[in-house]
Amino acid sequence: MARPDDFAGRRPHLVPLSDEELEARFWELAEQIVQPLIELARTHTSPSIERSVLMRMGFDSRVCASIVSECEKRGLLSHGAGHVVLHCAGEWGVEVRAAGARLASGEGWETVEARWGESGRGAAPRAAAGQRGAGT
């Protein structure tokens, strides 16, 4: 079944926009589209999902279980175990797998507490709407 071409009728509101305005509009709409997914992911994660994320980052199941267990104890699952590892890797200037190994051995959790506080409280404020690449 062919869809009738209605592009000419749907585009008049875009014609007067500059390239910069079109790009800004694109990111605004993209944010509106993914916001429900982000909220769903934030409120509906689980230890098994977080272990799966870490496994896809290259960690073995023992390391994954250790990191996720500690994140769960500290109330950090909503931030994402992978996010915790990425943050630590950036702070320490090491590869992701080295940061994960350090966390799995029980070291470095003070860096996590400095970022998110004890029991996940004290998270950095969200980026202003429209900014990409910043997260909690």
- pLDDT single digits (tens) 20-77: 999 999 999 999 999 998 888 777 889 999 999 999 999 999 999 999 999 999 999 8
**3-state DSSP: the chain helix, strand, coil percent, rounded to 5?**
65, 0, 35
Domains and CATH numbers, the chain: 46-116 (1.10.8.1000)
Q: 83-129 pLDDT, tens per residue? A: 999 999 999 999 999 999 999 999 999 999 999 986 554 443 333 33
Q: Name which of 36, 115, 100 is nearest 66 in CA terms.
A: 100
